[in-house]
Amino acid sequence: MTVLMGLSFADPSTIWPLYIFGILVALLASTQDIAADGYATRMLTPADRPTGNAIQGSAVAIGVVVSSAMSLVVYDQFGWQAMILVVAAISALPLLAVVIMQEDAGGMSATTSSTPSLKSFFMHPQACEVFAIAVVYRAGDGLVKAMEGPYLVDLAVPLPWIGYLNGSSAALAGIGGSFLVALAATRIGARTVLGALGGVRTICFAVFAGHAAGIFDGVWTILGASMINTMLRYMEIVALYNLYMTVSSREQPGTDFTILSCATLAMYLGGSAIAGVLADARGYAELFAAAACISALATWLTWRLMSTGFRLGDVPS
């Protein structure tokens, strides 16, 4: 909140103050996120984790849609400083939850006898299998997400349409899809849910590839695939984060959860970084086809790795 208040006094036309304040906000937000994820992992019971992650997914989606729209309205009416101060005020709201937070879960102290570390995570049984799932499951997403917007623009889809499409998909998935995944994970298990989501995602990527290759035509075909794909991203996060909480140890829940979520994010960002180069060199059709193949392989590998189940969180260090 304090950093955002400082940002409100920066000149938005000057890049370096924005860059420095942006780095500070990112560092503080990531630290807060690690603490929140660790706290949720420790406090939520196995039965409550799907619902808890659905609430998180819904909050993220609604925050993205509502806050983005609201910030633009405030900026248009009142200017830069007012917009940033409103964002700072909203960022202070989570502090209200601090007064009711409990640091002990089930009689277990919040402090641990050992320092959290990567070594401690990989000493757990099945740690390599879980880490592999975190790395591969969304490996192809970045390739499509980074080029999805440019492809729609090249098809002469109006920019407002793209914005409304992504916004409505995010809101729909955040409110409905997240809780649907939570219910499904409770009823049929995370393995089946991740397999189903990965299968539908692979079909969406294949539709993108087919459309780029001229096999499918019509703008509504690709818009439909784009909307479903956006919904899937939010739904996948709920299922993955439920798995990550399940396998995180009691001794270092924040560290374990962060290792897994960062592995997923790193692969996603890596794909996004090279997507433009690949699209320029090989074209949209081959890029999307490669993403579909990666998605199919990742879904199959995840299904196989989860065949024995995970009980990492039940194993003491």
Residue-wise pLDDT tens digits, 144-166: 988 988 898 888 887 667 766 66
CA angle 267, 271, 275 (to 5 degrees): 175
2-93+118-308 — its CATH code?
1.20.1250.20
Domain ranges of the chain: 2-93+118-308
Average pLDDT in the chain: 81
Query: Cβ neighbours of residue 81 under 8 Å, at least 6 residues apart?
Result: 8, 9
Q: For residue 317, name the pLDDT band (cuts at 50, 70, 90).
A: very low
Q: According to DSSP H, which parts of the chain are helical?
A: 2-7, 15-43, 49-62, 68-78, 80-91, 95-98, 118-122, 127-136, 141-154, 159-172, 178-188, 190-212, 219-247, 253-282, 284-305
Rg (CA), the chain: 21
Q: For residue 316, name the pLDDT band (cuts at 50, 70, 90).
A: very low
Distance CA 133, CA 262 (A): 12
Question: Which has the higher per-residue pLDDT, 165 or 249?
Answer: 249
- pLDDT exceeds cutoff 50 at 120: yes
Residue-wise pLDDT tens digits, 167-217: 666 666 666 777 788 788 778 888 899 999 999 999 999 999 999 999 998
Q: For residue 92, name the pLDDT band (cuts at 50, 70, 90).
A: confident
- pLDDT exceeds cutoff 90 at 84: no
- pLDDT exceeds cutoff 90 at 282: yes
- pLDDT exceeds cutoff 80 at 60: no
pTM over the 0.85 mark:
no
